[in-house]
Amino acid sequence: MRNTLHAALALAAAATLSPAAYAQNTMEQQYSSWPSYDGDDLELKVDDAGTHFTLWSPSAEGAEVLVYSSDRNTAAEDTLIMKRAERGTWRVSVPEKLYGKFYTFAVTVDGKRLAETPGVWAKATGTNGIRAAIIDLDSTDPEGWSNDRGPKLANITDAVIYEMHHRDFSIDPSSGIVHKGKFLALTEPGTSSPLGAKTGIEHLKELGITHVHILPSYDYNSVDEANLQANGYNWGYDPFNYNTPEGSYSTDPANPKARIFEMKQMVKALHDAGIGVVMDVVYNHTANNDDSNFSLTAPGYYYRHRADGSYSDASGCGNETASERQQMRNFIVNSVKYWADEYHIDGFRFDLMAIHDIETMNEVVAELKKINPSIFVYGEGWTAGDSPLPVERRALKENVDKMNGIAVFSDDLRDAVKGHYSNAADRGFATGKPGNEETVKIGIVASTAHPQVDYSKGNNSKFAYAGAPTEIINYVSCHDDLTLTDKLAKSMPGSSEAERQRAARLAQTIVFTSQGTPFMFAGEEVFRDKKGVHNSYKSPDSINAIDWTLKTKNADQLAYYKGLISLRKAHPAFRMTTADEIARNIVFDKVSAPNVISYSIRNNANGDAWREIKLVFNGSDEAYTTKIPKGKWIIVARDGNINPDGMSTFEGGKISVEPTSALILARE
């Protein structure tokens, strides 16, 4: 009787749905009925009993493994017929250890044999990732790998993150690096520009950053690894094989061991220099739709669809993955665990993180913390389009406080400081546009609740969405959109380069002294530009490469960045970890002048040696006079100059804050 009643209620509920919603429901019910598999043997395991293949493909009518002697352009030397096994898997084993061989899977669905695929779990591949490779992963470990460790952090707010692309960083002749555009570029000691300035890993150590955030380093689709002389370039946001390194960054893409060994060498070199490695991951979409490795193993399952069966597209790249489905969730969680364990990765940046569901992201962090308590995760708290995933389930920035140990980028601070990202001509606080003061203050307190910050006046966010500063990444530019240098050039027509550099210094001073975690784009410390190209994802090296002669030309700019980083690292007052600390210790001053913000960090905040830090930001084109209480102060920054140990002393009283500059004073 109860079953009959439930069926009747289900039919009644279905009758109230629109045809589109009914079709969507039916599709979800179909995929939710598929069994998931979370074993550690997908899709290859080699042990003393031989070589074992396991493929998850619940809808397949048949599956086989094709074994090859080379990575491409040869016929299969053997075909292994798989047998249906538990929880949607197919299995086959051979008694030999097939090291040195390559393989693909082919499944039959609805009577059709689909194209060959290396599967979704390939951990080693040959050229262009079309065939998976059977190797002994232990043989890819560099010397000392078992003792390799990244930097330990108490909190993400102790990090200073530097975002770079392998090719941008080393490809220019001025880098003085031998392995240009390769993983090994970051292993070369003692490199310098023709003018004698440090480059490569030596530059990173000199700058003082704690972590490099490297743009996608997994095997992506757009660069032909068999034709590298064609000088192909891409950012890498078009995933192909998620669990093997990109071949174009290795010295030998045809050698499956080379890319793995060389990426590990890079990680170890950075760790030996005291620098952590953040990996940019793009689980939200794939480069291909029907031809992706996901679609060729379990058609339809891994993606969200519209009611008409077409791919939904919150990524703006043709599809979006379905993290809420158990097997996709398992894949994401186990993939990041693999990178953290096998490659010693110290953090992950999730592209378009809001396409993923909150539950998946929480599981990601929980599992990663078991491997490395210092590991951290952050991402873009937005999508590039609408999604069937309900808003309340999305890993949006507005939902960050529902996530544990995850941070999101602050578009509030970004747009308020430099001007809106989508309008090149738009100015911000640092470039003289009034009306952004309250939004900058939202950034200063890391989007947490503060009694002196009025969120109703915010340009982007209208409420305090962060529960703690550990949930916020502050920045003014990244690989996307205009570099800060180009943004200033377009929004400050007629200005001199010196004036634009002053604006950049003010902008970055706000970033590096705000609560939350600072993030900067590679090369901006030497005032690098991209010739005004805002979406340079496949632009040539002439657009994307960093010219390291700029380091000598713009030495003062570099010195200022180094000073900012040193100041932040030396003073925990800039690195508070709770909203309550911020509300108690940060006090904003009443300011009547437009484009000026003045505040103090008091009470030896977060155990700081300085009892009070006074910060005044003047984004206007006129000097601003402020009054400082009597006492012994040291001037840390003034008029575009900075010295964390103090430039001079000041006994209080009136002091001028020059146009487009920051004043920082401190007293013990």
Residue 450's nearest CA partner among 434, 469, 436 is 469
Phi and psi angles of residue 59, each rounded to the nearest 5 degrees, phi first: -90, 0
Q: What is the 3-state secondary structure (H, E, C) of 505-550?
A: HHHHHHHHHCCCEEEEECCHHHCCCCCCCCCCCCCCHHHHCCCCCH
CA angle 194, 196, 198 (to 5 degrees): 110
Q: How far apart are CA 101 and CA 286, in angstroms?
A: 26
351 assigned to active site: yes
380 assigned to active site: yes
Residue 51's nearest CA partner among 98, 84, 85 is 98
CA distances from 31 to 285, 356, 404 (A): 18, 17, 28
358 exposure class (CB count in 10 Å sphere: 0-12, 13-18, 19+): buried
Q: What is the DSSP letter of 169?
A: H
The catalytic residue among 43, 246, 380, 411 is 380
Strand 43-47 and strand 50-56: the pairing is: antiparallel
Taking 3-state DSSP, the helix, strand and coil percentages for the chain, each rounded to the nearest 5, stand at: 35, 20, 45
The catalytic residue among 351, 411, 581, 639 is 351
> Which amino acid would we find at residue 625?
T
Q: Is the peptide bond before 43 cis (omega within 30 degrees of 0)?
A: yes
Could you write out the DSSP letters of every residue in 533-602?
-S--TT--HHHHS--TTHHHHTHHHHHHHHHHHHHHHH-GGGG--SHHHHHHHEEEPP--STTEEEEEE-
Residue 504's nearest CA partner among 658, 665, 661, 663 is 661
Q: How far apart are CA 381 and CA 333, in angstroms?
A: 18
Core vs surface per residue 581-595: b (16+ CB within 10 A) or e: bbbebbbbeebebbb
Helix (H, G, I), strand (E, B) or coil at 480: coil
CA angle 528, 530, 535 (to 5 degrees): 135
Residue 133's nearest CA partner among 243, 263, 294, 49 is 243
Neighbours of 11 (CB within 10 A): 9
Residue 397's nearest CA partner among 325, 447, 333 is 447
Q: Which helix (H) or strand (E) holds 329?
A: helix 326-342
Task: Look up residue 319 and give its two tokens.
Answer: 């599809």
* Partners of 473 in the β-ladder: 409, 517
What's the residue count for the chain? 668
Q: What is the 3-state secondary structure (H, E, C) of 450-468?
A: CCCCCHHHCCCCCCCCCCC
**Can you state the angle between helices 256-272 and 200-207, rounded to 10 degrees?**
30
Could you write out the DSSP letters of every residue in 191-252?
-B-TTS-B-HHHHHHHHT-SEEEES--EEESSS-TT-GGG-------SEEEEEEE-GGGSS-
CA distances from 644 to 308, 569, 616 (A): 60, 10, 16
Helix (H, G, I), strand (E, B) or coil at 170: helix
Q: How far apart are CA 374 and CA 145, in angstroms?
A: 18
* Partners of 35 in the β-ladder: none
Give the residue numbers marked as catalytic.
Answer: 351, 380
